[in-house]
Every structure is written in C-alpha cells, then in structure tokens.
Amino acid sequence: MSLTQKNDADDILIVRHGLITDTSFSNILLLDGMQWVTPAEPLLAGTCRARLLQQQRIIAKTIHLEDLSKYSHFMLINAMRDFDLTRVVSVSTQSIRL
C-alpha cells in the first residue's frame, strides 16, 4: 500500500520483509501488556525513539507482522509527538486494517 492508497485511514503501518518498521510519519510503540516495545529495525530511528530507548522507557524488539495480535495497544511518536499515555490506541480491527 502506498500513501495514495490509504483512503480514509489516518496513516499506514510499514512492513518490510515481514517486519513492522514504523508508519509514514512516526515511529510506533506497541504495548505487550507490561512493556512498551518499538521495532528493532525502523526505517528512521527518530530522536524521540532514541531518547526513550536511552531512558529505558521502551525496548527495541524484532516484531513480525503476525506478532501484532500479541500487543494490546499502540502509540505513535516522533519529534513533535512525545510519549503520552493520552494518545494510546487499542490494537483492534477498528484501529488497524491489514
């Protein structure tokens, strides 16, 4: 899918070689129930992501597309969207369409 094909979706989740990387404008964090996880191989390792990793608030992990169901929530972060629990979205068929 390209950005021109996203229709009414707010953003796209980028998958490369079967691994989740990030979205078109943000790094993604996924909650596994206990820990916030970010893809180990993003297309762009953003500054907010780097700071959160350095602070050990998040961990980097290889995330396969088929692993998405193991995560309950997600959050998008970038230089202008910091870690903020008020922006957490539930991983569901309403929030993510494959």
Which pLDDT tens digit goes with each residue over 42-98?
999 999 999 999 999 999 999 999 999 899 999 999 999 999 999 999 987 555 555
Per the structure, the complete domain to which residue 57 belongs is given by: 3-80
| Token reading at 7 | 């229709």
Q: Does a structural domain hold residue 91?
A: no
Q: Which comes out higher in pLDDT, residue 6 or 1?
A: 6
Asked if 29 and 42 touch (Cβ cutoff 8 Å), the reply is no
Q: Does a structural domain hold residue 75?
A: yes
φ and ψ of 68, to 5 deg: -55, -35
The model's confidence at residue 22, banded by pLDDT at 50, 70 and 90, is: very high
The model's confidence at residue 28, banded by pLDDT at 50, 70 and 90, is: very high
Q: Does a structural domain hold residue 63?
A: yes
How far apart CA 60 and CA 28 sit, in angstroms, is 11
Report the pLDDT value the prediction gives residue 26, as an integer from 0 to 100. 96
Q: Does a structural domain hold residue 58?
A: yes
Q: Which CATH number characterizes residue 58's domain?
A: 3.20.10.10
Q: Does a structural domain hold residue 98?
A: no
Q: What is the edge-to-edge ordering of all strands in the sheet holding 89-90?
A: 59-61, 36-39, 27-31, 73-77, 89-90
Report the pLDDT value the prediction gives residue 92, as an integer from 0 to 100. 74
Q: Does a structural domain hold residue 96?
A: no
Q: Which amino acid is it at 89?
A: V
Report the pLDDT value the prediction gives residue 95, as an integer from 0 to 100. 53
User: How many domains, in total, are found in the chain?
Assistant: 1
The model's confidence at residue 6, banded by pLDDT at 50, 70 and 90, is: low
